[in-house]
Amino acid sequence: MTDEFAMDRRSLIGRIALLVGAGFLPAEALGAAGESKRLLPPASYALLEAVCDTFIPATDTPGAVGAGVPALLDGLLRDWASKDRREALVGALGNIESGAMQAAGKPFAALSPDSRNTFLKGYDVAALKPVPGKQKASGLAALMAEPAVVDPAYARLKELVVALYYSSEVGLTQELVYEHVPGPWVPSLEITPDSRPFGSPGLF
């Protein structure tokens, strides 16, 4: 591992630390996150798995569940999240559950994949609706500030699932094409219907 890669890796972990409200997140935190006893009880963990699977389902590559995102997220909530951020993220999951019960009369995890997707699309639109008059931040301030949307906890949850997925080996090497930078100069790269986006240590 080069110093450049290690530095970028630390930057990515720092971003995830902001998302879980941790003041500090060591490099080994992601590797150790899923190794201990779960924070969430079985029903809540099943809900988390269903939400992760709906955000990033398996296609021709593994999805968020296949990449181990639920275990990573549970471990970060257990060991690294601030009390307020933990409560907010767990509350965001609870709000999804309540919404599913009201809309379909079933827990979110008990819905079919198509029904979960349909429900979460509508929920997503309402939760991520911009708050009128709330000024949007940019740069580092945007990472640290609460998202300027109706449900900032849901926005953080969704962003955290995506960040954890694309920091995983599955996300970076199977969903994306890993290309170490700097690398060889290729002046003309053929793009085909099977081409995937490229990922590198500077992705985040």
Instruction: At 112, give phi and psi (nearest 5°).
Output: -70, 155
Q: What is the mean pLDDT of residues 138-159?
A: 78
Q: Minimal CA–CA distance to 164: which of 70, 78, 94, 96?
A: 70
The pLDDT tens digits for 48-103 are: 999 999 999 999 999 999 999 999 999 999 988 889 999 999 999 999 999 999 99
Reported confidence tier of residue 193, pLDDT bands at 50, 70, 90? confident
- Contacts of residue 86, Cβ cutoff 8 Å, sequence gap at least 6: 20, 21, 77
